[in-house]
Amino acid sequence: MANGAVRQELWVNDFEVALHQNSPWLDKTKNDSAFVKGKTVHVPEAGIVQNVTKNAYVSGITTGTPGTIEDWNVFGGAGIPLSAEIRNDFDLTYDVDSYETAPFLISDIEEAQTNYNMRQAITGEKNRALVERIGLEALIKWADPVDGSATITTTGSAGSTRPNGAVTGLAITLADLAKAREKIVTDKYSSGSQNICIGIPGQMYSDLLKIPEFTRADAYGKSNLPEGAIGRVLGMVVYEIPQGLILDTNGDIDSAATLGGTVAATDVFGAVIWHRDAVRTAKGGMKLYVNENDAQYYGTVMSMQVLFGASPARTSGKGIAILEQGV
């Protein structure tokens, strides 16, 4: 394989821009790219919530000789020495997967590398398709361990579009969103600004427009929203995901349908709610394969490979919830 005059950094940068523009919500995670070893990510997972003690030692107040052991445990002090806590950490591991484009022909590599619009015409759709697939795979992996206790079914009026096109799904209500938010906070994740995110399928977006408390980015400006967000509701930042999760009648993820396969008549959409510290991603890099001046194709043949992985931060799925479309 000869790279010749091919400037790989241009094509790699175009993909990086596409990843940020088309799936900005993938940035709202714990980034484990530094922990990738080969095709596996190794991250320590904290086993306990750390305790904080007040007034372990109250200086100047004594029942005995100042500065001696008799000073400990006065007026509510916890006493010194404190008990040592043991973190029951274990190695959280997950794999990075390989995503590839089909080879494509560039008849004039020199012009393509000096003309951004031409590069976009060649690789724009390929990059978007690659990014969309990576994003959907990440959602599936994040939501996979979520059980019934963390699944909230929508309870609004009928009229929400389902995967098969029927408009018989129940709309999202503010109360449904409040329950989802409560689930994240109950899992001991803070509800601070921009910490909780919602990835909502495009077909369910119209439900949000009917909720007065939903702050739309296009109507009220984007100054107080992260880049790529479409709005905010109950303090949660909302991102539109073109496809989103598809769930079966048992509330389980229909991975095949989510990734573009056949949709069952009983399938429904699902939005994913997560705390940014409760999900993890890792990018192992991108590689460009080049056959320059290929005699069979009278031009340069290229293909791209991206290594990307995703996982819940906790094996229990804490800090993640699913908003399932009711019927």
Q: What is residue 8's predicted lDDT score, i.e. its pLDDT?
A: 83
Q: What is residue 17's predicted lDDT score, i.e. its pLDDT?
A: 83
Cα distance between residue 42 and residue 293, in whole Å:
41
- Per the domain annotation, does 2 fall within a domain? no
Q: What is the DSSP letter of 119?
A: H
Cα–Cα distances (Å) from 43 to 49, 114, 131, 225, 232, in that order, read 17, 41, 24, 30, 31
Q: Which domain holds residue 68?
A: 51-84
Q: What is residue 165's predicted lDDT score, i.e. its pLDDT?
A: 92
Cα dihedral 193, 195, 196, 200 sign: positive
- Per the domain annotation, does 1 fall within a domain? no
SS3 237: strand
Looking at the structure, tell me whether residues 200 and 248 fall in a common domain: yes
Looking at the structure, tell me whether residues 174 and 59 fall in a common domain: no
One digit per residue, pLDDT tens: the chain, 327 residues?
Answer: 444 478 888 888 888 888 877 888 998 999 999 888 888 998 876 444 566 766 665 544 445 555 544 444 444 455 566 666 655 556 788 999 999 989 999 888 888 888 888 888 888 888 888 899 999 999 999 999 898 889 999 999 999 999 999 999 999 999 999 999 999 988 888 766 678 999 999 889 889 988 988 987 766 655 567 777 888 899 899 999 987 899 999 999 999 999 999 999 999 999 999 999 999 999 988 888 989 889 998 889 999 899 999 999 988 889 999 999 999
Looking at the structure, tell me whether residues 199 and 96 fall in a common domain: yes
